[in-house]
Amino acid sequence: MSETEVKKEVPEKAFTIRAIIIGIIGCFALVAADCILGPISGFVATAEVSVMTVVILALLQMFLKFKMSYAEYAVIYAMIYGAAASYGGWFTFIFFLGVHNAKSPPWLPRYAQFVPEFFKLPPELFQMALKGGTSAPFMDLMPATITGVILTLLMGIIGIFGTAPFRRQIVEIERLPYPATTAAFTAVSLAMEPPPAEERVPVLGSRRNWLLLGLLVGFITVIFTSGYLIETVFPGAMVIPHYIGDRPSASGILWGIIPGAALGLDMASMFPWGWFDYFAPMDALITITIMVIVVNFILTPLQIKMGILEYDPSYTIDDVYFTAWFIQGYKYHVIGSALLIGGVLGGYIAAWKYIAESLKNKEKEPGFVSPQLQWILSIIAVLIMTGIVVSF
């Protein structure tokens, strides 16, 4: 009887030197992208830079003698996306810096008593920011910046250990068809596993060709949109306008027919995500389109007709919709957040049997600490976080 040798599968090494270096470079690229996107579109990049970094690496792997593992791609994607995940902490931190000097809205000063004094900026810096037109006083802001970095990193690390026992459940249950992740995986899988020679895809012949065409179309539409590359390098050049239809700073073009209705496209916000062209139509985009029509042509005009929303024909689109989203009426932002939270919790409730069984598993995952140690670290992290909150 011959003995069969079983070769133990060795997991791919994820945290390689090149993966870490590329991840750090991607984090700087994220900051650069925000410096461009923010003033032009009003948005900040989140998944976009991590996706495009991965896509660029996948393209290099397709055409050059350059190979990376799935694990390395995952680390790079997570590092850059993780940098964007710190935005929540920064928004809170910036709020704390200004809350001591702010006078409105009326409820804001009440929160100031709960904010530690070391978050307080000198009043003159606050007034300088309100006035505008002066260079940022970087040296004066440095202590606050260092404090913010340390606290954001600290809370992030504590949060990682605090949620460690539920790491597997989060990954398993939240496998949503998220466009950014799907797009990144599509590019990487085509680079790692070239399509078979017999593959026949309509028109262009292969999925890889469709990917390349979509990326090309997306790149061209971005650089030819107002505010981006072509207009910056060649002022006065013919480009895609910033807005088509309604403009945020003007009244609605349909308000004579349907008060409160909005019909406009912000092309400077749309086309930076244009590299999804190779993936359209997507369920997410179709859903967003339907909800925009419902909100802009049904819910908002209906609230105005019922007198729930304050309205005057002289108001701008920004006036009406900022009020509708955050201040009066149904407050779409609150409803949207509640629906999102409900959807996520619904997934966990539906999978409660799986969660209960998985928590009983005591086997150590490859390259990770044991479940028992995860619980110990989690309890310690929760106690530390509780102590920090109480001390404030």
Q: What is the pLDDT of residues 237-279, one digit of tens each?
A: 999 998 999 999 999 999 999 999 999 888 887 766 655 554 5
The candidate with the shortest Cα–Cα distance to 170, out of 50, 340, 48, 347, is 347
- Are the C-beta atoms of residues 244 and 264 closer than 8 Å to each other? yes
The candidate with the shortest Cα–Cα distance to 40, out of 180, 274, 243, is 243
The candidate with the shortest Cα–Cα distance to 241, out of 221, 262, 264, 268, is 268
What does the alpha-carbon distance between residue 360 and residue 50 come to, in Å, rounded to a whole number?
35
Q: What is the pLDDT of residues 287-343, one digit of tens each?
A: 778 888 999 999 999 999 999 999 999 999 999 999 999 888 889 988 988 888 887
Residue 359 to residues 2, 10, 344, 371, 374, Cα–Cα distance (Å)? 39, 25, 19, 8, 11
3-state DSSP assignment of residue 381: helix
The candidate with the shortest Cα–Cα distance to 178, out of 77, 269, 88, 271, is 77
Q: Ramachandran region of residue 379, left (φ > 0), alpha (ψ -120 to 50) or beta? A: alpha
Q: Please give the chain's pLDDT, 392 residues, in tens.
A: 444 444 454 457 888 899 999 999 998 888 888 888 777 877 777 777 888 889 889 988 888 877 888 889 989 988 888 877 777 667 666 677 777 777 666 767 777 777 777 777 777 887 887 787 888 788 888 887 788 788 888 888 888 888 888 877 777 666 555 667 777 888 888 888 877 777 777 777 777 888 888 888 888 888 898 888 899 899 989 999 989 999 999 999 999 999 999 998 888 877 666 555 545 555 666 777 888 899 999 999 999 999 999 999 999 999 999 999 988 888 998 898 888 888 778 878 888 888 888 777 777 776 677 888 888 888 999 898 888 777 76
Residue 72: CB atoms within 10 A of its CB come to 21
